[in-house]
Amino acid sequence: MSTRRRVRKTVLDNGVRIITEREPSRLVSLGIWVEVGSRDEDEGNNGSAHFAEHMFFKGTRRRDAQQIAREFDILGGMSNAFTSNEHTSYYATVLDSQLPGAVDLLADIFFNSLFSQAEIELERQVILQEIAMVEDTPDDRVHELFSGRFWQGHPLANTVLGRPEVVEGMVGKKLRDYVRRKYLPGRIIISAAGNVDHDRFVELWRPWLDKLVAPKRIPAKLKPPRSGGPGSLTVITRPLEQEHLVLGCAGLAGDSGDRYALLLLNTILGGNMSSRLFQEIREKRGLAYSVYSYLVSHSDCGYAGVYLGVDPESMPEVLALVRHELRRLHTEAVSAEELADAVDYVRAGMYLAAENMEARMTRLARNEYTFGRDIAMEEVAGAIEKVTQEDLLNLAGRIFGTDQLTMAAIGPVAEAKLLEEFGSGQN
């Protein structure tokens, strides 16, 4: 793969950043990224970022909701949006010849949305159904339950979808005020990947972006607890066929120097089909259909988690196996072969994702938010290949050697019994 980079960046006077990566393609993927999410909310407005994201597609002074949907379809590509703990994104992928139209449409919904009360009343029911759907999906809900417990007392504990009582009471003025206070120029990134000329792309956006005025000060985000969350358990008892459980401990921030070592540790523990948890619990013993480990990394903190969906009768054995594998990571060095396999897996996934223009566009924005610069894939691959067995052992001791594990469970489970089965979280 060529090492020649075609990434360019322009920072406007008001702080908006525009980043492009030119690649040989008939497609262009472009997105507006705002450093705003559920972390920027409190109990009184939790769900505002997500509600606002929905409303950006519900009408402007130039287009009603149906026209917006129709024009996105006519552009011939795809469009979508999402809200997370720290970001909101509005994006589309179109043929390169349709780029001016895509910019005009995205910019119009971003700057000119009306937040009409009639549309809010309609969308309120959609969002309440979305919240109810998660409540009815225990393998999704348990992750919210875990995050809320792990970050309790901090805005990171907020759900992205929000509190039903906030959604039920939302009005246009509240949403407009939220966007006005949070959607600041210094928090906005415009990114694009594909057959895009950087200078022309910047000029397409200038009529929209130059009118934004940077505030004198951008409020700082509330830092998370230094402990990364207490070791504790929360349970929702339901008459289900399976117990759904997430357990985890403090991880790393997205820009940590040890992020590549932790990525490899996660791969070895439960990140793919050849991982230790998948092989020991599912393949060798057939105790679970779904078992995996995963990482959540925010701008200044994170956690490492393990998800289990198992028959209640099997939970004691499965928890013993998880406890054993966590202990092994920080008491026994992984083999050279296991490390090499993990490196190959992570590296291959990175390069395969690079074939997708949307993934490249997303990567541009996230690198800018996390590191303030573009990071070439070759640089990442080189850093991954430098991770040693000793690096993994030392990091595993810091991450998985803790007895401060947090757990969340949904299903036919009693809190006292679960604590007993896991040995009170001792690892």
Angle ∠(211,212,213) on CA atoms, nearest 5: 115
**Maximum distance among all Cα pairs of the chain, rounded to whole angstroms:** 63
- Provide the pLDDT confidence category of residue 325 given band limits of 50, 70 and 90: very high
Cα gap 311→289, rounded to integer Å: 10
Instruction: State the pLDDT at residue 5.
Output: 58
Instruction: State the pLDDT at residue 75.
Output: 87
* Polymer length of the chain: 427
Options 3.30.830.10, 3.90.1180.10, 3.30.420.480, 3.40.50.150; which CATH number does 233-421 get?
Answer: 3.30.830.10
Cα gap 382→387, rounded to integer Å: 9
CA neighbor of 411 nearest in space, from 131, 132, 134, 139: 139
Cα gap 4→365, rounded to integer Å: 19
137 token code pair: 């999906």
424 token code pair: 């009170």
| pLDDT surpasses 50 at 177 | yes
Instruction: State the pLDDT at residue 2.
Output: 41
124 token code pair: 């309120």
pLDDT in tens, 361-382: 999 999 999 999 999 999 999 9
Q: Tell me how crowded residue 332 is: count the other CB atoms within 10 A of its CB.
A: 10
pLDDT in tens, 327-338: 999 999 999 999
- Provide the pLDDT confidence category of residue 44 given band limits of 50, 70 and 90: very high
Question: Is 130 among the residues known to form the active site?
Answer: no
> CB pairs under 8 A, 24+ apart, for 58-61?
58/113, 58/114, 58/115, 58/116, 58/119, 58/122, 58/123, 59/113, 59/114, 59/116, 59/119, 60/108, 60/109, 60/112, 60/113, 60/114, 61/112, 61/114
| pLDDT surpasses 60 at 424 | no
pLDDT in tens, 275-316: 999 999 999 999 999 999 999 999 999 999 999 999 999 999
User: Given CA atoms 324, 327, 331, 332 in this order, what sign does their dihedral have?
Assistant: positive
| pLDDT surpasses 80 at 254 | yes
Instruction: State the pLDDT at residue 227.
Output: 53
Instruction: State the pLDDT at residue 308.
Output: 97
Q: Tell me how crowded residue 11 is: count the other CB atoms within 10 A of its CB.
A: 11
Instruction: State the pLDDT at residue 54.
Output: 97
Is the separation of the CB atoms in 175 and 115 below 8 Å?
yes
Cα–Cα distance list, 192 to 15, 105, 111, 120, 133 (Å)? 18, 15, 19, 30, 33
Instruction: Please state which of the ranges 23-37, 53-67, 216-230 shows the lowest mean pLDDT.
Output: 216-230
Q: Tell me how crowded residue 385 is: count the other CB atoms within 10 A of its CB.
A: 13
For residue 128, count CB atoms less than 10 angstroms from its CB and return exposed for 0-12, middle for 13-18, buried for 19 or more. middle
In Å, how far from its chain's centre is CA 221? 17
Cα gap 218→184, rounded to integer Å: 8
Instruction: State the pLDDT at residue 223.
Output: 73
Mean pLDDT of 230-235: 81
Instruction: State the pLDDT at residue 228.
Output: 53
Catalytic residue, chosen from 21, 35, 41, 53, is 53
CATH fold label, 7-209: Cytochrome Bc1 Complex; Chain A, domain 1 (3.30.830)
Is the separation of the CB atoms in 84 and 67 below 8 Å?
no
- Provide the pLDDT confidence category of residue 76 given band limits of 50, 70 and 90: confident
Beta bridge partners of 192: 20, 30
In Å, how far from its chain's centre is CA 360? 16
Mean pLDDT of 207-216: 90
Instruction: Please state which of the ranges 2-16, 19-33, 75-89 shows the lowest mean pLDDT.
Output: 2-16
In which residue are the tokens 């393990």 written?
306
Cα gap 329→339, rounded to integer Å: 12
25 token code pair: 């393609």
355 token code pair: 């074939």
- Provide the pLDDT confidence category of residue 70 given band limits of 50, 70 and 90: very high
Mean pLDDT of 238-251: 95
Mean pLDDT of 101-113: 97
Indicate the pTM of the whole model: 0.93
Kindly list the domain boundaries of the chain, sorted by start residue: 7-209, 233-421
208 token code pair: 């929209």
Mean pLDDT of 241-268: 96
Cα gap 280→271, rounded to integer Å: 13
In which residue are the tokens 């992020």 written?
259
Instruction: State the pLDDT at residue 1.
Output: 39
Domains 7-209 and 233-421 share a fold: yes
Mean pLDDT of 322-331: 96
Strands 88-95 and 233-237 come out as: unpaired
111 token code pair: 């700057």
- Provide the pLDDT confidence category of residue 222 given band limits of 50, 70 and 90: low
CA neighbor of 400 nearest in space, from 247, 172, 186, 191: 247
Percentage of the chain modeled with pLDDT above 70: 95
What is residue 227's DSSP assignment? T
- Provide the pLDDT confidence category of residue 273 given band limits of 50, 70 and 90: very high
Instruction: State the pLDDT at residue 425.
Output: 46
